Structure 1
Amino acid sequence: MYNTDDFELYHTVNVFALIIGLAYGMIAQKTQFCFNGSIKDYVLSRSTRRGASILTAMIAAIFSSQLFSYLYAIDFSTSIYLQPDINFFAIIFGGLLFGAGMMRADGCSSRHLVKFSQGDLHSLVTLLCIAIFAYMTSKGLFSYGAALLQTNPVLLDISSFIPNSPMSIPIVIGLLLLALWKAVPKVKNLLACSDGLVVGTLIGLSWFVTGVVGFDAFDATPLESLSFVYPSGKTLEYLMFFSGSTLSFSITVIFGIVAGGFIMSLFNKKFRFNCAAPQNSNKLKNSILGGAMMGIGGILAMGCTIGQGLSGISTLAVSSFVALLSIAVSAYITALYMAKKEDLPSCFNFDWDR
């Protein structure tokens, strides 16, 4: 049975998770914050506006997370990102698969949560495929093959030559600030990156909730921040086996994002319409294929663009930067290929002067 104090902490963690999810969903719907979109914008129009928001989010995520870690002694080494026995080959393969999948489906897992909240039913298809294939890869039909790759002794031995230790904060922040300086045309344009500041801060707050608020909860809350691939599978499990399942931080965040995106879409109706897909594009096929690739790839890469790209790099783990680079390179190459085939959906204009 639950201890009364633990039961109250369990609810407190989920209340905070709901608030964080609501905030993420509202800001992401309002500004269309999106890793995939930032790459697509650059390929289609050389726009760096959403890319600058991503860089701002990374900086804010690292700063806020490391600050909370210092103030409250949060030990990131107990998270999945700083595991010592990392298989970089599995992470790179998963990242490449995820990046191609998110570009094919026109959005990563978090992006499709927001698009679904706006009324895009193709995003529901993508989310279901992400959830199903993530669960199949982690615990189902594909789990044996995934385990063979992830625990391969030869690949682990080779990977051990690169220690998965935290990188230098000054070097990482310096490089990100340099990239942000290159991406932003004028200093005043930094105001347009405020969404990245909010999203990055939510990463730090998530570490605080699971690492401090929920530290003494019954069946101690796992140390985690925002991530959406495996949690999508757990959310589907929760919806299917409600009476035998328990809410967790990550599941509640997902519910919050959908609710937050929906609420904001009632006021911000500009983005409630779908992207204009090319005539020869099979959107349903891309949604299914892209979702399946992201489900498998996200498990192998140990996270998505938010899970590794913000939560992971906020711990400064080498593996997270490797995963993010793999996702970005794969997505960029896929975007170039799709643009050449005139198969890259054209959405809204996110130039700096708009």
Structure 2
Amino acid sequence: MTLATVDNPWLLILAGALGIGLLFGLVAAATRYCNMGAVSDWVLTGDMGRMRAWLLSIAVAIAAVGAFELLGAIDLDQTRVNYRAADFPWLRYLLGGTMFGIGMVLAGGCTTKTLVNIGQGDLKSLWAYAVVGLTALVLLNWPTARLFIDQGLAWPGLSLASLGIDHQDAGGIAAGITSLDHAYLRPVMASLLATGLFVWLWRLDHARRMRPADLAGGIGIGMIIVLGWLWTGSSTGQALMNEAALAFDPPRGTGTQSLSFVGPAAESLRLAADPKL
């Protein structure tokens, strides 16, 4: 029996997602992987160990995702969140990134570290993550907030479609400029970006060897991110999306996606308040 023939793809997807999430937590805890920790170590002490681990995970994920998409194993044009939309709301990106960075500093860690701390029994991190979830719940479900985000913060934006570009990813932009097929340009751009990061990390490694924990964290987290894309975009994930498309009351959260930390916090609070919502 193949995965595509499983009677309840929803439960199977959830079970796989739980396994991927637990694996991520184990690797992050064991290697001290943290986005904010990477930046703070570099700025405060000059230690680039965790920064290199962070960049290594990005390089691994970019290279692997580009390869798998070229092979047709995943289709990132059909993700739950349309990362490749033609509209480029740069103000929203800048404002959101700045606020998220300030929040990480005030909370004492990124959402990755916050979840790891919760797993280790830190009640302060539980409070911080509850605030993250409540804020996201309001922004995602309160009509006034949604209107402000979708329309207010969308201006002044950049419509790439007006320039003849259908997607905002690097491969899509290159395809729009050159009129070449993005199916080939995307893996090319992924290879260039990943190679640039690998070369830079290799040059840094000659100056000071990466610690085994940082090396393991970078490679491990990068591959786990790819595993998330592959699992949700698998035949089982496609079966779930097809089932949801035909349902009168489809389950929330379907679609090709990988690790996320803010949206699930909002969903957890929503389900805790009323599982029927």
Percentage identity across paired residues of the two chains: 28
Q: Does the aligned pair in 1 maintain the 2:86–2:160 contact within 8 Å?
A: no
- Whether 1:179 and 2:183 are equivalent positions in the alignment is no
- Whether 1:164 and 2:173 are equivalent positions in the alignment is no
- Whether 1:207 and 2:229 are equivalent positions in the alignment is yes
Letter in 1 for 2:13: V
Shift of 1:205: 0.9
Query: In the aligned structure 2, how far is the partner of 1:150 from the partner of 1:160?
Result: 19
Mark the CA change 1:179 to 1:102 in structure 2 (over 3 Å): closer, same or farther.
farther
Match of 1:84 among 83, 86, 91: 86
Q: Does the aligned pair in 2 maintain the 1:210–1:222 contact within 8 Å?
A: yes
Question: Which stretch has the larger CA shift, 200-209 or 4-13?
Answer: 4-13
Relative to the length of structure 2, the TM-score reads 0.78
- Whether 1:70 and 2:70 are equivalent positions in the alignment is yes
Query: In the aligned structure 2, how far is the partner of 1:27 from the partner of 1:117?
Result: 13
2:99 corresponds in structure 1 to 97
Shift of 1:200: 0.6
Shift of 1:171: 2.5
1:123 corresponds in structure 2 to 125
Shift of 1:195: 1.4
Q: Residues 262-314 of structure 1: CA distance to partner in whole angstroms, max 9, x if unpaired?
A: xxxxxxxxxxxxxxxxxxxxxxxxxxxxxxxxxxxxxxxxxxxxxxxxxxxxx
Relative to the length of structure 1, the TM-score reads 0.62
Please give the secondary structure, in 2, of the residue aligned with 1:92: helix
Tell me the number of residue pairs that the alignment of Structure 1 and Structure 2 aligns: 240
- Whether 1:13 and 2:17 are equivalent positions in the alignment is no
Q: Does the aligned pair in 1 maintain the 2:87–2:158 contact within 8 Å?
A: yes
Shift of 1:7: 4.4
Unaligned runs of at least 5 residues, structure 1:
246-354
Shift of 1:129: 0.7
Shift of 1:20: 0.5
1:109 corresponds in structure 2 to 111
2:181 corresponds in structure 1 to none
1:148 corresponds in structure 2 to 151
The structure 1 segments of at least 4 consecutive aligned residues displaced by more than 4 Å after TM superposition are: 4-7, 157-163, 185-188
Shift of 1:67: 2.6
Superposed, 1:259-278 pairs within 5 Å as: none
Match of 1:235 among 268, 271, 277: 268
Instruction: Report the aligned-residue RMSD.
Output: 2.5
Please give the secondary structure, in 2, of the residue aligned with 1:89: helix
Letter in 1 for 2:268: T
Question: Which stretch has the larger CA shift, 159-168 or 125-134?
Answer: 159-168
Unaligned runs of at least 5 residues, structure 2:
172-188, 246-253
Query: In the aligned structure 2, how far is the partner of 1:75 from the partner of 1:158?
Result: 21
Mark the CA change 1:199 to 1:219 in structure 2 (over 3 Å): closer, same or farther.
same
